[in-house]
Amino acid sequence: MEKKFKELEVDFFIPPILKESIQGLKQEVNSGGLCIDCWQDDIRASINICLNDGVLSEEQGELLRNYYYRQIF
């Protein structure tokens, strides 16, 4: 069964640095790539940057981490 990536729908702004990481993960999952874990690490780092800059709240960061980083694709 082929995996298809579905982005998490949120009602808050996703900064460009994080959006790029999410798109990279989407392409990797949909193409059956072997570097999914690399993109998940990139997303985790991007979330941390956004949290440190105050662009995301802790709750938003946790929601995104749970979906994109802790989920197995």
Confidence grade of residue 10 (pLDDT, cut at 50, 70, 90) = very high
d(CA 35, CA 68): 14
The mean pLDDT value for 41-62 works out to: 97
Closest CA to 63 of 27, 5, 10: 10
d(CA 70, CA 50): 18
Annotated domain spans of the chain: 32-73
Record the pTM: 0.89
d(CA 59, CA 24): 23
Can you give the pLDDT at residue 39?
96
Confidence grade of residue 2 (pLDDT, cut at 50, 70, 90) = low
Q: Is the pLDDT of residue 71 over 90?
A: no
Please write down the long-range contacts of 35-43, taking CB distance under 8 Å and 24 or more positions apart.
36/73, 40/68, 40/69, 41/69, 43/18, 43/68, 43/69
